Amino acid sequence: MRDKIYTYVKRGFSKFLFVLFFSQSIVLPCTSAIISGKASPNGRPLLWKHRDSNAFENKLMFFKGFKYDFIGDVNVKDTLANSVWMGSNTTGFSIMNTASYNVDTINTNHLPRERDGYLMKRALAECSTLADFETLLGELVGKWGVASNFGVIDAQGGAAYYEVDYKTYKKFDVNDPAIAPDGYLLRTNYSVSGRELQGQGYIRYETAKEIFSEYYKKNKYVCLSFLLKTADRNMLHSLTGDDVYKMDLPQDTTDKKFIAFRDFIVRYSSISTMVVQGVKPGEDPALTTLWTVLGFPVTTLVTPVWVAAGEKMPSVTIGEKGVTAPINKKSLKLKAKCFPMTYGHGTDYLNVSALLNKKETGIIQKLFKHEDKIITKAKDLVTKWTTNSFQQKEAEEFYQWLDEYVNSIYQKEFGI
């Protein structure tokens, strides 16, 4: 990646670099991946979105849809919940997006702009398959202002990206070996079908490409744990070669050490994550699991949920109208320790010792000790349900345990 960037400069693409490095306060970058069933260890597809935005307060909501019920990640300030930014419905249809900044947005019909969240909410309410989504796109393209890479999986084994602009869309089938030879695809904030060397997220794309390729080459699959631990909480910078996890760490939390922190997958604008683990064709869509991280990813524990469990959700993930989810609130308190300089461009500088230090008292070091218990317990339930069918009572009991466990960890480790 470093060689590529330098080549672009020599070829006169200084404008590309200017946009890439200095406009992140304006754009809303995200990093994502789709893994088809053939590239996962158990044949179940995976959908990953690392969400970036200036809407730091968010929560999960359960919706009674036009045709299907669904769970989605919403912004707290969107009090009418008009937009959903990633989610899944009762049929196992799941969707997410990354905004694209190199596709056609010529507004000839005076369309409302940035309707991505509206479209995803509607898709979750009425789509069951990729074919349904394509029908919806056919109805809406040219009528709504959308410029996005939409990632979709369904319970029939479908998995694809749709690069959508104001006039048309192009499909990239993750099951097609000619398009995705290793069974997965990545997207950040530019479209492959868009204008070359424009858009955002080239450095993050190269980072994701590097870590995915290395992991796949070694294991011949991409798994849930890799997405949650390695990809989503990744702090490698593909241009500079710096890796926060591998640097000479400060002694403890009092030994403040600041580094420039831009163009990493995790960054100040990271606000939440969702990894949807789908089902194999023929399996019950109720087993579709939403592994949510509602907050700054390196200060937030994962909270798994199932649409099939209904409206009763973990209390740490929800909130009344205009109120942030409790786990999101706790996460933001810890995030403030990572970025204590709030004046000027202070939020571009990470206090490493708050996250990682030699005494292992950093936030992520403490949280990771406890997160595996959540992951294991949820995985065991899905394994049980695969044989005995989904049990709503067991899901609700898990939610009750999860609430108690999450609250106890944040209280014990951080006093919040």
Asked if residue 258 belongs to a domain, the reply is: yes
Number of domains in the chain: 1
Domain boundaries, position 329: 28-414
**What is the dihedral sign for C-alpha 155, 161, 166, 167?**
negative
**What is the dihedral sign for C-alpha 65, 68, 69, 75?**
negative
CA distance 90 to 414: 36
CA distance 9 to 274: 35
Asked if residue 200 belongs to a domain, the reply is: yes
Burial class (CB within 10 angstroms; exposed 0-12, middle 13-18, buried 19+) of 368? middle
For residue 9, the model assigns a pLDDT of 31
- pLDDT values of the chain reduced to their tens digit, one per residue, 416 residues: 444 443 433 333 333 333 333 333 345 689 999 999 999 999 999 999 999 999 999 999 999 999 999 999 999 999 999 999 999 999 999 999 999 999 988 876 677 777 899 999 999 999 999 999 999 999 988 888 899 999 999 999 999 999 999 889 999 999 999 999 999 999 999 999 999 999 999 999 999 999 999 999 999 999 999 999 999 999 999 999 999 999 999 999 999 999 999 999 999 999 999 999 999 999 999 999 999 999 999 999 999 999 999 999 999 999 999 999 999 999 999 999 999 998 999 999 999 999 999 999 999 999 999 999 999 999 999 999 999 999 999 999 999 999 999 999 999 999 99
pTM above 0.85, yes or no: yes
Q: In this structure, are strands 349-351 and 169-173 parallel, antiparallel, or unpaired?
A: unpaired
Which among 190, 185, 67, 56 has a CA at the least distance from the CA of 121?
A: 67
**What is the dihedral sign for C-alpha 106, 107, 112, 118?**
negative
For residue 25, the model assigns a pLDDT of 35
Please report, as a single letter, which amino acid is at residue 48: W
Distance between first and last Cα of the chain = 41
Asked if residue 16 belongs to a domain, the reply is: no
Residue 234 DSSP one-character state: -
Buried b (16+ CB within 10 A) or exposed e, 172-205: bbbbeeeebebbbbbbbbbbebbeebbbbbbbbb
For residue 1, the model assigns a pLDDT of 45
Specify whether the CB–CB gap between 120 and 162 falls below 8 A: no
For residue 105, the model assigns a pLDDT of 84
Q: In this structure, are strands 31-35 and 46-52 parallel, antiparallel, or unpaired?
A: antiparallel
Asked if residue 63 belongs to a domain, the reply is: yes
Q: Domain of 367: which CATH number?
A: 3.60.60.10
